[in-house]
Structure 1
Amino acid sequence: MGGDKGGSASAGQTEVPEAAGHDEFLIDGPAAQRFWDKSALGVPQSGNRLLLSAAEVLFCNRHRNLALPEGWESARMEQDGITDLLQEAAALEAVRTPGEKVVLARNLESLGLPDTSSESTWALRWARDERVKNGPPDGELRWVEASEEIDWRELHEWASRTAAADRIPEVLIVDNDLDVTTYRLSSCDPTGEVSHAEAGEGDASPFSGLLADVLARGLLPRSGFKYGTRWRLYDHPLGVTHAPYLLQHEDEAPSDWAQVCLSARMSTGVNKTWLCGFEQTGEWRYLAVTRPPPDARWSNPRR
């Protein structure tokens, strides 16, 4: 990939950022103008200055030769801890290194840019060849720790709102080694062409409501044991096509993001879409977790 070309590894370091509040820093001079014009980093201020978040400062230190304030990392570690900041910086680096533009949600109002669809959105993403002032964002981002617990209903709501705004819901999962993996979420409406007579009753299940909805959708459920799920779902009679879906009830779905990665990667490896199903306000809803296409699998560079 072309990468984010806003700085040069051989260039000398720029001036040291000036603290401007909790986890915010100001820089001025040519670097301030360049960081914003070329990469949409930070928020421009009066006097040709640029306000950067702590995560953006760490990114610029690695990729823009920006010096760090002396002793700042040690002080941050003592006061608030630094793990969450390093994880956020890893997520930012994963998307920005290929050249994508990332504007933090906290900066959108100051920049006069479109708002997020949800308070749980961390940032908006523009394609590398777009300018943030010239068009809508391509995606909404949130970053999570691999061990973070999952609320499937909240995720479904977030994904639905994001899609309604014509943006891609993208989750950046950061593990303890600061490695980043990206998955996309979407509200799914799986349907098939299997009659009740052909489908039979499926396997015995404590999730009779979900099973009934699957059958009503014209889908054929069969055991998903070998794929680590409750069911694999066919949208045509057996022998016509492979099962396009793997389905897990909310009560049996992964409880953290590390487990989600395993389930979604398994599904991708066998050309299926992994679904979590749950009932809400009398209707069954399905959330799909999928791997992005190869050119949108944001992951931090190996060092």
Structure 2
Amino acid sequence: MGRRERTYTPRVRTTRPLGSSLSANAPPAKPHPRPIAMDGLWYLPSPLAQRLHQKSALGQLTKDGGILLTVEEVMFSHWYRHVPLPDDDDWLGNQLDADPSILSRVIVMDVMRNGGELVVPVSHLKDRYQNLHPATWAVRWQRHESWKKHDGFSQIRFQRTHDVINWDELQHWVETVVSHGHRPELCVMDDELDLTVYMLSHESPVGDQRIPLDLDEEENLRLDSLLDQAVAIEGGHFISDDLKWMLPAFGIQHLSGRYLREEEYMFLAQEDHSDSLYQHLAGQRLLLRPGFKYSCKWRVYETEINTEHAPWLVQPVDMAAETWEGVCLSVRLAEGVNKRWLCAIPDEASWSFLSIRRSVGI
């Protein structure tokens, strides 16, 4: 059987050639000067330096009015501001040989400055921001914000798809970024050198379901009686009489009775005395159903299952993927069915829920 005829044009991937401008603006009549090595960075003199710094937030000012650029800023200036590369036959190759992470920083700078956004490496901002997390690489301003007057929109870090995730460190990074009034943005680069940007945050899922605490004395007695009648079967318990069931968030109707998963039965029978994740979520009046179809532990509802779709897919941290490749696949699957992916992480005597979602428009 032949392949179906394509009716769309594949996306053209950026190749970023050296020596060629990616800017739509015409080059200057007089070529700009080449950057010169200085103090581990790359120096450009005024007046070009002043224009690049004031309008494009590029470089760190020097006493003589020049600026010092990082390698990624040199590359951005080369592609979009007609600045030639330093006078070295294989300048970029030599930089990559000294620090392979430069490749990621160059691509992140290019993508995150797309459409007029301003991105400044934290190495230029030490006097402006105190106690930034070591994982933060840069601060971003939105295109309508003045980078001199505004505190910034987000902090950026970058990872490769094969990087192993330290969930405690990641959570601490998110908390630190939020404490500065910024949004945490994560750039993940794949092996095609293509970038996907994610926004991270903490969420506190809460529902409106009835739980055992809401039952009166008579209902509690009825619940105890029903649980005593429950028959243990593989994976849970079955109650043959469903007509008097008063907690619709727990169990599912089947065979004219109600099937309770083991975690539900233990919670209702008060046999689970640990601070388990299920106990926490059920206590938040959420309705939980298995997330097998969505490659996670639970799909989680705020209200009745027949009223709306589950807004969250929750995965305990000990079941989450170990690398960014796996997490990105989970997030993509969740967003494909209009849900938010949450990683549940133990937090002292409770739980925190880290939300990872793709950014729109970057």
Question: 2:332 maps to what in 1?
Answer: 265
Tell me how far 1:18 sits from its aligned partner.
Answer: 0.3
- Once residues 315 and 155 of structure 2 are traced to their aligned partners in structure 1, the CA distance between those partners, rounded to angstroms, is 25
State the TM-score, normalizing by the size of structure 1. Answer: 0.87
Amino acid at match of 1:102: V
The 1:240/1:168 distance shift into structure 2, 3 A limit, reads same
Task: Assess if the C-alpha contact under 8 Å between 2:44 and 2:67 holds in 1.
Answer: yes
Task: Return closer, same or farther for 1:36/1:203 CA change in 2, 3 Å cut-off.
Answer: farther
What letter is aligned with 1:93?
Answer: D
Amino acid at match of 2:27: A
Match of 1:192 among 207, 214, 219: 207
Which structure 2 residue ranges, 5 or more long, are not aligned?
1-21, 212-246, 252-259, 264-271
Classify 1:233/1:136 alpha carbon distance in 2 versus 1 (closer, same or farther; 3 Å).
Answer: same
Q: 1:65 and 1:116, CA in 2 relative to 1: closer, same or farther beyond 3 A?
A: farther
* Partner amino acid, structure 2, of 1:210: L
After TM superposition, the structure 1 = structure 2 runs for residues 1-303 of structure 1, keeping only pairs within 5 Å, are: 9-12=25-28, 13-22=31-40, 24-69=41-86, 70-71=88-89, 72-78=91-97, 80-82=98-100, 84-109=101-126, 112-115=127-130, 117-196=132-211, 197-200=247-250, 203-204=261-262, 209-292=276-359, 294-295=360-361, 298=362
- Asked if the contact 1:126–1:137 (Cα under 8 Å) also holds between the matched residues in 2, the reply is yes
Answer yes or no: is the 8 Å Cα contact 1:114–1:136 preserved in 2. Answer: no
SS in 2 for 1:177: coil
Structure 1 residues 148 and 282 mapped into 2: Cα distance closer, same or farther (>3 Å)? same
The answer for unaligned runs of 5 or more in structure 1 is 1-5, 299-303
TM-superposed CA distance for 1:117, in Å, is 4.0
The structure whose RCO (Cα within 8 Å, separation 6+) is larger is 1
Letter in 1 for 2:140: R
Per the TM alignment, residue 204 of structure 1 is displaced from its structure 2 partner at its CA by 4.2
The alignment-based identity, stated in percent, is: 31
TM-score (normalised: structure 2): 0.74
Q: CA offset at residue 180 of structure 1?
A: 0.9
RMSD: 2.2
Q: CA deviation at 1:118?
A: 2.0
Q: Which has the larger radius of gyration?
A: 2
| Equivalenced residues, count | 285
Q: Which amino acid aligns with 1:17?
A: P
1:124 to 1:74, Cα distance in 2 relative to 1, 3 A: closer
Measured in 1, the distance between the counterparts of 2:248 and 2:169 equals 35
Whole-Å Cα distance in 1 between the matches of residues 39 and 129 of structure 2? 25
Identify if the C-alpha distance between structure 1 residues 87 and 209 changes in structure 2 by more than 3 Å, giving closer, same or farther: same
Residues of 1 paired with 2:96 and 2:140: CA distance? 29
Cα shift at 1:264: 1.1
Separation in 2, partners of 1:230, 1:168: 27
Matches of 2:53 and 2:156 in 1, distance apart?
20
Report the 3-state secondary structure (helix = DSSP H, G, I; strand = E; otherwise coil) of the residue aligned with 1:199.
coil
